[in-house]
Amino acid sequence: MQTHVYDVIIVGAGGAGMRAALESGTRARTAVLTKLYPTRSHTGAAQGGMCAALANVEEDNWEWHTFDTIKGGDYLVDQDAAEIMCKEAIDAVLDLEKMGLPFNRTPEGRIDQRRFGGHTRNHGEAAVRRACYAADRTGHMILQTLYQNCIKEGVEFYNEFYVLDVLLNEESGEPVAAGVVAYELATGEIHIFKAKSIIFATGGFGKVFKTTSNAHTLTGDGMGIIWRKGLPLEDMEFYQFHPTGLAGLGVLLTEGARGEGGILRNATGERFMERVAPTIKDLAPRDMVARAMVQEVREGRGAGPHKDYVYLDLTHLPKEQIEAKLPDITEFARTYLGVDPVTELVPVFPTAHYAMGGIPTDVETRVLRDNEHVVPGLFAAGECACVSVHGANRLGTNSLLDINVFGRRAGIAAAEYANMVDHVELPNDSQGQTITMVEMLRSSNGTERVAPLRKELQETMDMNAQVYRTEVTLKQALNDVHALRERYKNVSIQDKGTRYNTDLLEAIELGFLLDLAEVLVVSALERKESRGGHAREDYPHRDDVNFMRHTMASRKVNAEGEEFVSLEYKPVSMTRYEPMERKY
């Protein structure tokens, strides 16, 4: 076992982690730990754009952007946080440009902007061109640019180091961050990283679902680690299903396709979004579009041999526009479905895409241990965190914005904190729990296997906790998850080696997925209303009287020693926007 000492440890090298590293690295001794290589992070798969009210192509301002974000989030957004994000968005985009990001340009050579779902002019009048973009590979360019700047600044990376535990110690009876425990994939060795500040930037957990745009590696490790420490997770019932996943595969096709003029059609060829959102039609927020698509299929207007998808139609757009502005998704459709978007309709259906919930933080990205108190030295940013700027439904492009704005804030806050305090002593037997977990999995002779358990988990979540939910389906999902958690205790792996043991890695990841699936379902069961991405058919309306509040779930153990999910609530932070009915 090796022990390393840093001021700041960043867990995760996607957009949020590397944006944080660029700030923290110049202020304090920093290292970034990633279970992948930085350039493999899923920020690179983001496509459409990053919104900021630059007003380069038409009138716009950050207050409109704030309003859209709050309304898009069905008023569960913390309004002070949304104001910060939308205001700082402008500098966030300009910072990236200065770092070298190759944005598409206007004829005047300024950063070009295009339309995106739910982003409007003057509080909903019409769609506005707010998304700054680099073709349909904006996330790729952000990830590359941040990595390139990390090289420039000499940021230290530990690649393929899988963080499995966060170490907390107590000061005056309260938890304080002390370090993390990581498993080195190449050797199987356990490392302890002692640090004054720790930033979690570990991304989402889309792999709880079967149909997802998420990478294989998005297994919610960071959230899972926090959860196992008994710290709360916020708003985990709010999961976003992106309307346009390639049917049957879940591969993402950007909303930018509709921003460029693409249209959704059912099997009869009808543009059904005209019925649902008469003003902005196909550019309604994702939760509304996803529900409309599922509704078309349920009512028999789905397309294809099983009538189980709808179409994205780009055929009326000029070939040059499609190839210049949407080259990657055009290639995805050609490669994976053999469909050419220039001349053919593309089969699409909602795909699990983004966790609105996560590790609760304040606007300085400090992790909350309850509604009022932070865990000193612990920070979180990006998809794994819940500030909450996305509320019940995130607007398209606001995730790339979130990682840049709050990644930057996390880097500054973590370094400044580290420069004020001394290292906290590591708790006794820091690595014990991690070694026990790893060795139990490696030596187990159990009869269960990882892949079938994971498949069953994903199938029940797709079936019972997806776009539409009811008490019956959620209870089914909960029973299934409980049964799978029992079976997981008897899981074993075939690879007993220490070097690059991805069999072991997947077993650990499955453990986190099972924990988070339970939190999601329990939180969803208790939210007896429909709001944003959480649509309860048995409670079809938003209930501001009882549920205008964030869910705070945490792991508790009862008198019999059994774990359970305990739910509490946190008020929504309101500034100037009164909740209204959400119409587009």
CB of residue 166 vs another protein: minimum separation in angstroms? 23
Tell me the per-residue interface mask from 508 to 547 with another protein, x by CB under 8 A, - otherwise.
----------------------------------------
Q: Residue 2 burial (CB < 10 Å; 0-12/13-18/19+)?
A: exposed
Angle at 499 between CA 498 and CA 502, to 5 degrees: 90
Q: Which of 168/493 has CB closer to another protein?
A: 493
Buried b (16+ CB within 10 A) or exposed e, 165-186: bbbbbeeeeebbbbbbbbbbbe
Q: Which of 24/41 has CB closer to another protein?
A: 41
Other beta carbons less than 10 A from residue 145's beta carbon: 21
User: Do 245 and 403 meet the contact criterion of CB atoms below 8 Å apart?
Assistant: no
Q: Which of 109/561 has CB closer to another protein?
A: 109
The rounded distance, in Å, linking the Cα atoms of 327 and 584 is 29
CB of residue 36 vs another protein: minimum separation in angstroms? 6
Q: Does 503 bind another protein (CB under 8 A)?
A: yes
Buried b (16+ CB within 10 A) or exposed e, 279-298: ebbbbbbbbbbbbbbbbbbe
CB of residue 44 vs another protein: minimum separation in angstroms? 6
Q: Does 144 bind another protein (CB under 8 A)?
A: yes
Binding residue for another protein, selected from 30, 79, 138, 217, defined by CB under 8 A: 217
Helix (H, G, I), strand (E, B), or coil: what is residue 575?
A: coil
Q: Which 116-135 positions form the footprint of another protein (CB under 8 A)? A: 134
Q: Which 178-197 positions form the footprint of another protein (CB under 8 A)? A: 186
CB of residue 230 vs another protein: minimum separation in angstroms? 30
Binding residue for another protein, selected from 61, 148, 295, 566, defined by CB under 8 A: 148
Q: Which of 102/432 has CB closer to another protein?
A: 102
CB of residue 490 vs another protein: minimum separation in angstroms? 15
Matching residue, tokens 């926090």: 226
Binding residue for another protein, selected from 12, 25, 44, 532, defined by CB under 8 A: 44
Other beta carbons less than 10 A from residue 445's beta carbon: 6
Q: Which of 268/321 has CB closer to another protein?
A: 268
Q: Does 61 bind another protein (CB under 8 A)?
A: no
Q: Does 305 bind another protein (CB under 8 A)?
A: yes
Tell me the per-residue interface mask from 448 to 487 with another protein, x by CB under 8 A, - otherwise.
-xxxx-----------------------------------
Q: State yes or no: is 442 an active-site residue.
A: no
Quick one: DSSP state of residue 53? -
Q: Which of 367/513 has CB closer to another protein?
A: 513
The rounded distance, in Å, linking the Cα atoms of 214 and 219 is 9
| Per-residue tokens: 346 | 């593309």
Matching residue, tokens 């020693």: 561
Residue 260, C-beta contacts closer than 8 angstroms, at least 6 positions apart: 114, 115, 314, 317, 321, 322, 325, 326
Quick one: DSSP state of residue 539? B
Binding residue for another protein, selected from 30, 113, 120, 149, defined by CB under 8 A: 149
DSSP, residue by residue, 478-519: HHHHHHHHHHHTTB--S---STT-HHHHHHHHHHHHHHHHHH
Q: Which of 34/66 has CB closer to another protein?
A: 34
Q: Which 328-387 positions form the footprint of another protein (CB under 8 A)? A: 328, 332, 335-338, 344-345, 347
How many residues sit in the footprint of another protein (CB under 8 A)? Answer: 77
Q: Does 447 bind another protein (CB under 8 A)?
A: no
Residue type present at position 117: G
CB of residue 16 vs another protein: minimum separation in angstroms? 17
Matching residue, tokens 């309604």: 284
Angle at 174 between CA 358 and CA 425, to 5 degrees: 100
Q: Does 257 bind another protein (CB under 8 A)?
A: no
Matching residue, tokens 């019972």: 464
Q: Does 444 bind another protein (CB under 8 A)?
A: no
| Catalytic site residue from 115, 286, 531, 536 | 286
Q: Which of 40/229 has CB closer to another protein?
A: 40
Tell me the per-residue interface mask from 74 to 93 with another protein, x by CB under 8 A, - otherwise.
-------------------x
Considering only 107-115, 176-184, 372-380, 518-526, which stretch makes contact with another protein by CB under 8 A?
Answer: 107-115
Q: Does 499 bind another protein (CB under 8 A)?
A: yes
Binding residue for another protein, selected from 260, 313, 509, 529, defined by CB under 8 A: 313
Considering only 66-74, 302-310, 353-361, 551-559, which stretch makes contact with another protein by CB under 8 A?
Answer: 302-310
Q: Residue 520 burial (CB < 10 Å; 0-12/13-18/19+)?
A: buried
**HSE-up of 343 (CA within 13 Å, CB side)?**
4
| Per-residue tokens: 344 | 């053919």
The distance from CA 28 to its chain's CA centroid, rounded to whole angstroms, is 27
Q: Which of 20/96 has CB closer to another protein?
A: 96
CB of residue 110 vs another protein: minimum separation in angstroms? 6
Q: Which 382-421 positions form the footprint of another protein (CB under 8 A)? A: none
The distance from CA 302 to its chain's CA centroid, rounded to whole angstroms, is 29
User: Do 96 and 90 meet the contact criterion of CB atoms below 8 Å apart?
Assistant: no
Binding residue for another protein, selected from 279, 419, 490, 502, defined by CB under 8 A: 502
For the chain, the straight-line distance linking the first and the last C-alpha, in angstroms and rounded, comes to 57
232's torsion region: left (phi>0), alpha (psi -120 to 50) or beta? Answer: beta
CB of residue 415 vs another protein: minimum separation in angstroms? 21
Q: Which of 484/522 has CB closer to another protein?
A: 484
Q: Does 498 bind another protein (CB under 8 A)?
A: yes
- Which residues carry out catalysis? 286
